[in-house]
Amino acid sequence: MRILTRVLSATIAVAATIGVTGPPLHASEVAATVGGETITIAELDRAATTRLLRVRTAAYEVRRAEIDRRVGELLLRQRAAAENLKPEEWLAREIAKRDVAVTPEEVAEAYETLTSVGAATSKEEAMANLARDMRAARGLHVEQEILQELRAAASVQLRLEPPRLDRHDLGGAPVHGPDDAPVTMVVFQDFQCPRCASLVSVFEQLRERYPEKLRIIHRDFPLANHPQAKPAAEAAACAAEQNRFWEYAAALYANQKSLTRPTFEKLAAGTGVDRTELASCLDSGRQTRSWKDGLATARELDLRGTPAIFINGRLVMGARDYDAYAAIIEEELRTRF
């Protein structure tokens, strides 16, 4: 949202300065002329593909959030009206039917995890406040469940199309999943990136849930401030020669604080990788091309950090939880295939 705000503010400021008026230009139209030479919208778009995609994705997410809010309001209003109730009355009744109670044991367990409750707050008062907050949080969760159920049972057609990267050469290796999978995730990662490490279990869950519908492609994007990311990527590529990339990559992420040559060889034993072959591969340097190719593509796309993920061309920056990725995959399966 901050990126979108900055870009839109800058665009408005420039437009005001040079007196821009009229409707947006189409790709084939001329954006500027310099001494008789022209600059077209298409040329600008090609030069700033991913930057524009980031802005358009931010705008899409703002609009999508507003759509979801309004759809929820409409569904709630329609359901309540069918029973001659106000929306808040119907929702309160439905929440009351479900278990939102918090047990003393749950409150006590949560209290033990608090680092500080404030010098002026007694334990009894702190636990009472905690119980109230926990009940409220559980109530909000139940409310979201109810709205999701209403939406699942209703006829909701989403016409807002998410922006996508309009190119098909992001592929690489290794790949997990069938070639004809309807959903492809291209994941640019860095083996020293903590947020990338947090996705190991998430991707495992996604692969288990969508064994025939999801293809995941790994691309190396070693960041400049992570000096061990390149040799780690090379070691993973050597493991891929033995068809053990995913197991070995998970082990690398679990050992981010010790990405050294001894560690690379040590991890072979627990991942089904032949240590001697791995060492020979590393000594040869033949897999440096793997991370160099990924880095070149990431720079061409003007990616700024990891993880950077394209789901059927839809850009998802940063690490998300399992539910967030699953929701996008389900949407792709539902609306495009």
Indicate the number of domains in the chain: 3
Answer yes or no: are the C-beta atoms of 266 and 13 closer than 8 Å.
Answer: no
Q: Does pLDDT of 1 surpass 50?
A: no
pTM: 0.76
Q: Does pLDDT of 5 surpass 50?
A: no
How many other C-beta atoms lie within 10 A of the C-beta of residue 112? 7
**265 and 219 belong to one structural domain:** yes
Q: Establish if 244 belongs to a structural domain.
A: yes
Specify the pLDDT at position 7: 41
Phi, psi dihedral angles at 272 (to 5 degrees): 75, 20
Half-sphere exposure for 43 (CA within 13 Å, toward CB):
9
Specify the pLDDT at position 127: 86
**126 and 255 belong to one structural domain:** no
Q: How far apart are CA 185 and CA 218, in angstroms?
A: 8
What is the residue whose two structure tokens read 């778009």?
A: 45
Answer yes or no: are the C-beta atoms of 292 and 261 closer than 8 Å.
Answer: no
**181 and 329 belong to one structural domain:** yes
Q: How far apart are CA 319 and CA 302, in angstroms?
A: 18
Q: Does pLDDT of 2 surpass 70?
A: no
Q: Establish if 190 belongs to a structural domain.
A: yes
Q: Does pLDDT of 42 surpass 50?
A: yes
pLDDT average, residue stretch 2-31 = 50
Phi, psi dihedral angles at 32 (to 5 degrees): -160, 155
| Last residue of one domain, picked from the residues 123, 153, 183 | 153
pLDDT band at residue 287 under the 50/70/90 scheme: very high
Amino acid identity at 46 = R
Specify the pLDDT at position 119: 54
pLDDT band at residue 104 under the 50/70/90 scheme: confident
Domain hosting residue 229, numbered range: 175-336
**133 and 195 belong to one structural domain:** no
Q: How far apart are CA 315 and CA 312, in angstroms?
A: 9
Calculated CA dihedral for residues 172, 173, 175, 181, nearest 10 degrees: 20
